[in-house]
Structure 1
Amino acid sequence: MKKLILLFLFLFSVKIFACKCGNSGEIGIQYQNADFVGEIEITKIYGNNLKSRIYKADVSVLKIYKGKSFGTVEISGLINDIQSAACEVDLKVGEKYLIYLSKNDGDNVISMTTNRKSLGSEKYTISACTPKTFISDVTDQKLKTERQVDEFLSKSKEKLNQVFFLDESVSENSKGDFKDYEISDAKNKFAVYKLKVNEKSKIDHIEAVQNFESSKDLEIMNLMKKNFVIGKDFFSEVRNEEVLLILFYRPENKGSDYADTLSGELK
C-alpha cells in the first residue's frame, strides 16, 4: 500500500495550477460514496453568486439507482465564466448525465486556487470532480455497461465496502498480466467479486458474485490473488476485512498506452 500513498503524494506535489480531484475513479466506490446515483437532465441555468462563485440549475430526474429525487443543484463556477483550475464546470440546458452526487462534493476537490469548503452543504453541488458521464443520443457501450453496474448495485444485497487495487504485476519491465488480456467468450462486461483480505492487504479468498461467464474466470481470479494489493482509497489499507471489487473487461482498450483490457475503472 505504500506504493499507492507515494503515487498520490507525487501527483499532489506536482506544482501546476490545475484542478485535482480526490476520488479514485472506480464506479463501485463512487456508487458507495454517493447519496444520489441516477440520470438527470439540465432544464434551467440561473442565479450567478459572484461571492461564492456558484450558479444554480433546475434538473429533471430521469432515473434513480440510489437516493431520492430532487429539483435543484448548485454548480461550481459562474455562467459563461469558468475557472477550470478551480474545478469549476460549465453545464448547459438540455444536457443529460449519469451522475453520482454527494452532499460533501467539496471533499472530492483538491483545488490549488479556490477554497472549496463552501461546497460542503446539505445541497448537492456539481463540480468538475463530480463523477458523471455525459449521455448522448449515440449508443455508447461504456454508458451501457455503467448503467448495468449501477442497476446491479441498486439490487444487490451485498453491503460490503467497495475497494480498488494495485496490480503488483505492473513494473518498469512489465505492463502487467492484465495488459491486453483477452477473453474470447465473455458473456458479461463486468464481474463482481467478494474478497477476504488478510493483514497484508492481499487476497486470501475470492468468490465471484458475478463473473464474466467465460473460460478464463478461474485464471482471472488466480491472477487477482497473486497480484492484487487491496485499498479503500489512497490512504487507507484494507486489512482483515471482507470487501467487494468490480472488474471490467474492455477489449477496445487492446493496444492502448493508457488503459488495460481488464481494469477496475470503466475507461
Structure 2
Amino acid sequence: MKKIFVLFLFIAGYSTLLACKCGSLGMVGINFQKSDFVGEIEILKIRNSSSKSRTYLADVKVLKLYKGKEINTLEVHGLMGGIQSAACEVQIKQGQKFLMYLSGNDGDTIMSMTTSGNNATTGKYFTVSACTPKSEIKENSRTLALERAALEFLASNPSDLAQAFYLDNSVSAISDGDFKSYIITEPARSFAVYKLKVNGKSEVEEIEALQNFGSSQDGEIMRLIKKNFVIGKDFFSEVRNEEVLLTLFYNPDKNASTWGDTLTQSLVEPIFD
C-alpha cells in the first residue's frame, strides 16, 4: 500500500478517541493554493467571547501579506479559558504572532464527522480553529525561514495550477522511488517547485523544474519522480490527465526518522518517530 495512505489510515484508526482530525497541516504548497489569505499577523486584542457560540474575536495587524487582502479581525473557534481540543477549538492570546492560511470555509481542513459543521465562518470574518494551517512566529526558527522562502517564491510566481500530493508507487523501503533517506549533496536551496503533466494512470508524463534544489542531483530527482511516483490530489483521489504543481522540501534531519522523509511536502514534525 502506498506510504502516505498507510500513515493516514494508522492515524485515522484513533478517530473514535480523538474527534478533531485535521488535513493538509504543514503542506505549504497545497495550503497556499487553497487559501484566500496567506500572511503574517500579530494579535492585538481579544474581545467578544461568547459562551453560547463558543467563539471570540481577535483584532489583528497584518505584518506581511503573501496572498489575498488585508484583514483586521478574526473569528476564533473556542471559549477563552476553556477550549475543547476534541472539537478543534483553539486559544489565541494577545501579543502572539502567526503565519496563517485562511479560507472562506475553515471546515475544509477538518476530517471529523463530529466537528465538520462547527467551523463555518459568519461570512464577515475568517474563522480560526485548531485545524487552521498556521505557524507561531518564533525567532531563529529554521522551519519558519524555509516556509517563508517557499511562500515568497509561490507569491512571486502565481499559477492557476493546483498543488498536489505525491504518492509513493513502491512498497519497498529501499526502492529507488522512495525519498525516505535521500541525501542531496550541497543543495543551494532547501525547496523545489515542479510543474508536472500527469497522464490517465496518475503517472508523471512530463516534469519541469520551476525551481530546483541547485544540486548536481537535480536531474536524478526529476527522473525518480517521473519514473517511480503516481500523483494524488489528496488522501483519497489521484490526479488524472492534468497539469499540477508539486512543492518539495529537503530536510536532511529526517534521515534517521521512522516516519519522516528527507524529501517531503510537509514542514510538520512527524507524529510518530
Aligned equivalent of 1:216: 217
2-structure distance, mates of 1:50, 1:176: 51
Aligned equivalent of 1:196: 197
Aligned equivalent of 2:63: 62
Aligned equivalent of 2:30: 29
Pair 1:236 & 2:231 matched? no
**Contact kept? 2:105, 2:119, Cα under 8 Å:** no
1:13 CA drift (Å): 5.3
Aligned equivalent of 2:117: 116
1-structure distance, mates of 2:26, 2:121: 20
- Classify the secondary structure of the residue corresponding to 2:248: strand
- Classify the secondary structure of the residue corresponding to 1:119: coil
**Structure 1 runs of 4+ with >6 Å offset:** 1-7, 172-176
Note the residue ranges of structure 2 that are not aligned, 5 or more in a row.
269-273
**Larger displacement relative to structure 2 (14-23 or 202-211):** 14-23
**Contact kept? 2:164, 2:244, Cα under 8 Å:** yes
**Contact kept? 2:177, 2:227, Cα under 8 Å:** no
1-structure distance, mates of 2:27, 2:10: 20
Pair 1:135 & 2:142 matched? no
**Contact kept? 1:85, 1:112, Cα under 8 Å:** no
Pair 1:93 & 2:114 matched? no
CA gap of 1:62–1:213, structure 2 versus 1, over 3 A, is same
Aligned equivalent of 1:50: 51
1-structure distance, mates of 2:103, 2:40: 14
1:171 CA drift (Å): 3.9
1:229 CA drift (Å): 1.3
- Classify the secondary structure of the residue corresponding to 2:256: coil
Which digits, 9 at most, give the CA deviation of each residue in 1:76-112, with x for residues without a partner? Answer: 1100111000011111111111110011002212345
1:151 CA drift (Å): 0.8
**Contact kept? 2:196, 2:245, Cα under 8 Å:** yes
**Contact kept? 1:107, 1:120, Cα under 8 Å:** no
Pair 1:155 & 2:156 matched? yes
Which structure has the highest strand share of the two? Answer: 1
Which digits, 9 at most, give the CA deviation of each residue in 1:146-170, with x for residues without a partner? Answer: 0011111111043211111111234
Count of matched residue positions in the alignment of Structure 1 and Structure 2: 266
Alignment of 1:71-86 (within 5 A): 71-86=72-87
- Classify the secondary structure of the residue corresponding to 1:78: coil
TM-score normalised by length of structure 1: 0.91
CA gap of 1:45–1:239, structure 2 versus 1, over 3 A, is same
1:139 CA drift (Å): 1.0
Percentage of matched positions with identical amino acids: 56
TM-score normalised by length of structure 2: 0.89
CA gap of 1:48–1:115, structure 2 versus 1, over 3 A, is farther
